[in-house]
Chains A and B, each alone.
Chain A
Amino acid sequence: MTDVLIVGAGPAGLSAGIACAQHGLQVNILDEFTLPGGRLLGQLHEEPDGSWWNGMAEAKRLVEQAKNLGVHIDCGVSVYDVAKTETGWRVSTTRGIIEVPKLLLATGAAETTIPLPDWTLPGVMSIGAAQVMTNVQRVKVGNRGIVIGVNVLSLAIARELQLAGIHVDRIVLPARNLLTKDSGNPEKVMQSMLRLAHLAPSTFIRLGSKLIKSEAMLKLALSFLPSSGIRMWGIPIQVKVAALEIFGDKQVEGVKIVKVNTKGEPVLGTEKVIPADFVCIAGGLSPLVELAAVAGCPFAYLPELGGHIPLHNERMQTPVAGLYVAGNITGIESAKVAAAQGTVAGLSIADEFGKLPEKKLLQTAMKKVEVVREHAVIQFDPYIEKGRRTISSMYAQQNTGA
């Protein structure tokens, strides 16, 4: 008899499973992918102290710990429906129906796309697709590629492609249109890049990032920035170049680019064709909330957390009885935050079952989420904490109002 069903075997789901199992609960974790680990599997970056964050090794560690505690992890299973019953949840999966008292959704995030002409051609893929193919499947997505979209994810994964011996020709912005108002705006992109200055100190010190904290200085610096861009790990990041279209006959053959001014407006006559055998599109992440919606959970729209977020409190409970959330479904943050949230969810569920004699553990775990968030190397949005406060107060209102 399963006490807790967890959807998603990423850092949040695995950590929650471990916390539940440590308190005597029977746990089953389901995941659609062929391997447990979720987004951890592809992650590989250098920490500021020079050590490597190897997500694959981290996933392996969590999976082993969970399995040693008797957690059942089933991969290759999709959940297509969840419904409330008198005693808990009825979860419909591609391997049958599971009845369970408590349900934790740790489904993570989906990538936001940036549509361009001919982006449906084979060889054009999301940046996350390239990450999984490279670091998990260990198959080359191409030999020479262009990344469209400058953000924390695209920079990190471009570096991963380079480590695997794949040439990233350049990272450029998408051309500005109705759907790319921010991602195609050099000023906005530069502002978010400066928050990542600590990832490549020497590059940004050269740029004088300390001096350009002010809006006016940033605009001035941007106007002097050459269109050849800034190099990070030798990869040109060109915030004053935009991709107009992708082209190719039966598969991608290249990208047509154009120089743009500081507002992202194209400079006429500067169009150029760059050959490429693969293209990655990096539009950022948004929480994958479909099961929370089907379960009847209310939402809050918080762009700083990545979009629509299921209401939840600091204990990772939703207003729907027996339904919990953890990880990127609650907002886009790093894998370390997701894991810390997973532990909270697990302890919170154990408490609900009356199996958490040491209440202090839950308090400590909740505190840890905040500490990990504060020390995160990669912060996806400067207003994450504001978003977190909003969702907590909305949850409180919902519960007192109902």
Chain B
Amino acid sequence: MEPNQIVVCRCEEVTLQELQETANSYQCSSRELKLRTRAGMGYCGGRTCRNLIDMVVKEVTGIAPGDAVPLSYQPPVRPVTFDLLGGKK
């Protein structure tokens, strides 16, 4: 099972290898890992892979998630149309 074949973020097709290598070179936080690889930044809003991103960071850097949520949530938490956000229809 090669890490370069394992897609972790389905929306952005980011592989375990990319995440592992990036976390290793930068010894970074979940947020930095997300920004560097785009994992968790796709259409689903990271709902599917955010725990996995935290897990990669924990395994590579040894830093477990703290009480604050590592990848902050921003509204809208569901993709919505501009019409809906603008209130015009």
Contact = CB atoms under 8 A, between A and B. Distances in A.
Q: Note whether A and B form a binding pair.
A: yes
Which DSSP category, helix, strand, loop or mixed, fits chain B's interface?
loop
Interface string A79-112: 1111000000000101000000000000000101
A92 B85 CA distance: 9
A142 interface: no
A294 B73 contact: yes
B63 interface: no
Interface stretch (A176-184, A348-356, A365-373): A176-184
B78 A300 contact: no
B76 A117 contact: no
Contact of B16 (A92, A94, A179, A294): A179
Interface in A247-268: none
Interface of B: 1-3, 5-8, 10, 13, 16, 20, 45, 47-49, 51-52, 55-56, 59-60, 64-69, 72-78, 80, 84
Interface stretch (A17-25, A189-197, A205-213, A285-293): A285-293
Contacts of A113: 48-49, 52
B3 A177 contact: yes
A181 B55 CA distance: 10
Contacts of B60: 178
B87 to A, nearest CB: 8
A65 B59 CA distance: 48
Contacts of B76: 80-81, 92
A307 B60 CA distance: 19
Contacts of B16: 115, 177-179
Nearest to B8: A115
